[in-house]
Amino acid sequence: MSEQEAGAHPPHPSYANDEISLVDIAKVLIRRKAWIISLFLICLLGSVGLALVKDRHYTYTTSILVGEFGLDKYVSSAKQAKSVLDSRIVPVIERQFVDKRNIEQIPFETSVMADEGNNFVTLQSKATEDKRSLVAEFHESMASALTRDHNEKLSLLEKESDMRLQALRVSYETEQRQLEELRKLLATSTESVDKAEAEEQVRANSQGASGNMEATLTSSNNKLTFMLSQMQLTQQLSERENRVNELQSDINEEELKRSWIKPTRTANLATASIRPSGTGKALIVALGAMLGLMLGVFAAFFAEFVGRVRQVSE
């Protein structure tokens, strides 16, 4: 190859090896360990301080059982009760609550949930432990308003049931008196029939003795009248007894329905959760430690990069 051809083709440039080994990374981390340790300690101490000053929030729950007036019969469904609370009761109670304490807003939030399966409404609020009394008062005001609304309807049902019970008991007492009178009449009629039979037997025996022959006893008009009257009384007595039994059954059924009427009531008021809600203190410290370690490693590589740039510039 001639010198001209050699000059026409310049030699290939030599490229530096840009691969970074794990040893180089370890050297950088060791050399810049001050950054890692500093940022790790700063984030760790900051997370510990945040965990110490952070207020512990609990979930306070109030359960309101919807009133009943029969088996699987409720004065309102849980969904309807929730709608009444959200649209009509909550705004009024909130306004009264802030006006009474002269504050701008309620220091906690309250959510209303409906459980259709068990037919009760649940109030839940998240607040610190020192605000538990405020939460209990707020929940009680909401529950009382809903209870008054439902119990007005139940009171009408109770009055109707009481009126039906009173009418049934009056009818029962009347039928019972008439039944006793029929029993007395039946007893009197039985005595009359027995007396008529005795008199007829005596007359037949007398005729047989005088006529020297055996006579057959035949009923007189009085005896037949007594027997027919006795049959009618027996039939009326049976009908009256059936009527009394029916009334007694109706009374028992109405009393059972009356016993099913239960007002809307609060099962539990502002019951605090066992564990605090939200992020726990241990988790805050762990997240702070991880964040400090990540920032420290990033700062170490950044500081190494800046140092090498300065060396190249110099």
Of 233, 248, 252, 107, which is closest to residue 179 (Cα–Cα)? 233
Instruction: Return the exposure string of 205-215: e unless at least 16 CB atoms fall within 10 Å of the residue's CB, then b.
Output: eeeeeeeeeee
Q: Are 258 and 193 in contact (CB under 8 A)?
A: no
DSSP H helices, the chain, are: 3-8, 22-31, 33-53, 78-84, 90-101, 132-211, 221-260, 281-313
What pLDDT is attached to residue 204? 46
Cα(218)–Cα(211) distance, integer angstroms: 17
Q: Profile the chain (314 residues) by mean pLDDT over runs of 10 residues.
A: 48 50 79 85 85 80 85 80 88 89 85 80 88 90 88 80 86 85 75 61 46 42 62 76 86 80 85 78 84 87 82 77
Residues ≥6 apart with Cβ < 8 Å to 79: 114, 116
Cα(148)–Cα(270) distance, integer angstroms: 19
For helices 33-53 and 281-313, the axis angle rounded to 10 degrees is: 150
What pLDDT is attached to residue 210? 41
Of 74, 123, 125, which is closest to residue 264 (Cα–Cα)? 74
Q: Are 146 and 66 in contact (CB under 8 A)?
A: no
**Residues paired with 74 in a beta bridge:** 68
Task: Give me 308's structure tokens.
Answer: 């090498």
Cα(201)–Cα(184) distance, integer angstroms: 26
This prediction's pTM: 0.55
Angle at the Cα of 172 from the Cα atoms of 168 and 175, rounded to 5 degrees: 135
For helices 132-211 and 221-260, the axis angle rounded to 10 degrees is: 170
Q: Coil, strand or helix: which one is 27? A: helix
**H helix or E strand, kind and range, residue 266:** strand 265-272
What pLDDT is attached to residue 130? 83
- For the chain, the first-to-last Cα distance in angstroms comes to 42
Cα(86)–Cα(83) distance, integer angstroms: 5
What pLDDT is attached to residue 16? 47
For the beta sheet containing 109-115, the strands, ordered from the edge strand earlier in sequence to the opposite edge, are: 109-115, 120-128, 57-65, 265-272
Task: Give me 196's structure tokens.
Answer: 């008529």
Could you identify the residue written with the tokens 């030699």? 11
Task: Give me 104's structure tokens.
Answer: 């701008």
What pLDDT is attached to residue 275? 80
